[in-house]
Structure 1
Amino acid sequence: MLAPKRSFMGQVAYLIGMYVHFLKVYVKTLVAYRADTIIAVIAGIVAQGSTLVFLTVIFKRIPMLAGWDYNELVFMFGLAATGRALNQTFFNAPFMLTGNIRNGRMDMMMVRPVGVLFQTIGYSQELNGVGQLITGIAIMGYAASHLDMSWTFLPVLYVVIALLCSALIQYSILLTISVLTFWFQEIRSLIYPVTWLYDFTRYPMQIFHPILRGLLTYIIPYSLASFYPAAYLLRPEQYGWAAWGVPAVTLVIVMGAYFIWSQGLRRYSSVAG
């Protein structure tokens, strides 16, 4: 099937409309499966709340951690949790790739007049991320209200940009790993450990060994998806480079992941073949 010819802006408008349609289907799913939605929200609150309790217990004995106080760490945790939930809720596509290939759904996507990657993203909304998203925003807002931070337009805009960058960095890293399924039959044993590495970035990078800091900054740059944006908001005079560095690195990572995806897609052969 040939896609109709559109201008660049026409194509952008078409894709936005298409994604809105995917979101409508997702919202209908949340409404249709009320019990699952409620359980997911409760599970997210419990999961994030347990870590918050852990931080509270620790700070009753240790007033500062690597120079960061309790409210600062809670803010870091809230931003990291919100970014993680955004990724899980709207960009869960890397976890679906292997299944799409094995059940033949990829063949169906290949003949549609919309990009395969776009369709994969559209189908990938994850119910379990809703509760964590709500809880993450609440935790971040609570911590921000207890910090001496000026919430003018620019800081709020940067929070939005930082959260989007966080979701895209996680998505791009996991997509790069999942694309290996075009060369190897099973990669889930690799993608899950890489996902779990993100949990380290809920805490200050200074508390970790230099090797781990290097891994999470230069090899698998999860720290740019959570710690450094939070550090910039809390201490802009010390982490000013993150204002432009995080969006710039995000763009590079997204472009790199898309290039690798394109190379992998060329190797795809139909399951019917």
Structure 2
Amino acid sequence: MFYVSIFFQYASQYLKTRLTYRVDTIVEIFSDLLFQAVNLIFILVVFGHTSLLSGWNREEIIFIYGFFLVPYAIFSSFFNIWDFNDRYIVKGEMDRVLTRPIHSLFQIIMERMELESLFGVITGIVIMYYAGSTLGLTFAWYDTFIFVAMVLGGAFIYAGIFISLASIGFWSDSRTDIMPMMYNIGNYGRYPVDIYHRVIRFVLTWILPFAFVGVYPAAYFLKREEWYFYAFLTPVMGIVFLSLAIFLWNSGVKKYRGAGN
């Protein structure tokens, strides 16, 4: 309950700050929506030249993209640590964090959260609704709980990967370009993995499991039974990768030497 209370206090202060600069907030939300629209247009352009993509039709690809946006929006809102190495290690802000009686990772997540990114959840659900209606999909009452579990699993996978990358900074305080590259690799997860070479499919499934953020869980709702095993593995992969990331983080904090002078 202590951490829940701290979260709401952080969120309250964050909203006050954002509402002070309403125009900036609106522009940022609009920019995110525009970026999502561009990706959707890209899918439409691709299907302007073909009716199927490795056995997937246009509406199915759109549904996968819509699903992908939901866990990605949660990740972007609460795990925005792409500049951790530069800000907290190189510039020494980690020293400030470690003086407070609360877990360091939780503090950084709260400091770097961007709640306006949660609008991506709405966008993703709207896209899924459109594609699902076109495909004539039907859902059982328990699918809501499965949806929540798979969305959280996908968000945890993203969080686990990027927290693990951020943890590298505890052992190496030099600036790296791994984060931007990993963001680009993550985009592959919003398309069916069977359109890629088998080596890439293996990487996106077991090494950098971004496929569990989009195509695998979405396949369950698309009634693609051949992917059910991977779909139901999504929450498990999320817990495993997030747990591993927290372990690496805690180990890294013990190795942290401070910023010096």
Fold shared, TM-score > 0.5 on shorter chain: yes
The structure-2 alpha-carbon separation of the partners of 1:127 and 1:191, relative to structure 1 and needing over 3 Å to count, comes to: same
Q: Note the residue ranges of structure 2 that are not aligned, 5 or more in a row.
A: none
CA contact (8 A) 2:90 2:173 kept: no
1:232 aligns with 2:223: no
> What is aligned with 2:105?
117
Deviation per CA, 1:66-102: give whole Å up to 9, x if none: 1111111101011112222221111113533531233
Give distance in 1, aligned partners of 2:130 and 2:87.
39
CA contact (8 A) 1:94 1:171 kept: no
> What is aligned with 1:29?
17
Deviates more, 1:192-201 or 1:231-240: 231-240
Amino acid corresponding to residue 189 of structure 1 in structure 2: D
1:162 to 135, 144, 150: 150
> What is aligned with 1:18?
6
1:142 aligns with 2:130: yes
> What is aligned with 2:96?
108
The structure-2 alpha-carbon separation of the partners of 1:141 and 1:37, relative to structure 1 and needing over 3 Å to count, comes to: farther
> What is aligned with 2:84?
96
The Cα of 1:165 is off from its aligned counterpart by: 1.5
> What is aligned with 2:209?
221
Deviates more, 1:252-261 or 1:133-142: 133-142
The Cα of 1:266 is off from its aligned counterpart by: 0.8
SS at match of 1:263: helix
Q: Note the residue ranges of structure 1 that are not aligned, 5 or more in a row.
A: 1-12
> What is aligned with 2:59?
71
Deviates more, 1:168-177 or 1:20-29: 20-29
2:188 to 182, 188, 200: 200
> What is aligned with 1:58?
46
The Cα of 1:243 is off from its aligned counterpart by: 4.7
The structure-2 alpha-carbon separation of the partners of 1:29 and 1:138, relative to structure 1 and needing over 3 Å to count, comes to: farther
SS at match of 1:123: helix
Give distance in 2, aligned partners of 1:97 and 1:133.
28
CA contact (8 A) 2:219 2:231 kept: no
Deviation per CA, 1:85-133: give whole Å up to 9, x if none: 2211111135335312333322222121110011111111136735544
1:83 aligns with 2:81: no
Structure 1 consecutive aligned stretches of length 4 or more whose deviation exceeds 3 Å: 130-134
SS at match of 1:93: coil
Give distance in 1, aligned partners of 2:83 and 2:48.
39
Q: Which aligned pairs between 1:239-258 and structure 2 lie closer than 5 A? A: 239-258=227-246
> What is aligned with 1:6?
none
Alignment RMSD (CA, Å): 1.9
Give distance in 1, aligned partners of 2:154 and 2:134.
23
Give distance in 2, aligned partners of 1:246 and 1:187.
32
The structure-2 alpha-carbon separation of the partners of 1:14 and 1:244, relative to structure 1 and needing over 3 Å to count, comes to: same
Question: What TM-score does the superposition give when structure 1 sets the normalisation length?
Answer: 0.88
Deviation per CA, 1:176-224: give whole Å up to 9, x if none: 1111111112343112101210111111111111111111111111111
CA contact (8 A) 1:173 1:257 kept: yes
CA contact (8 A) 1:166 1:226 kept: yes
Give distance in 1, aligned partners of 2:133 and 2:175.
42
Number of paired residues? 261
Give distance in 2, aligned partners of 1:31 and 1:143.
34
Give distance in 1, aligned partners of 2:124 and 2:176.
27
Give distance in 2, aligned partners of 1:80 and 1:212.
18
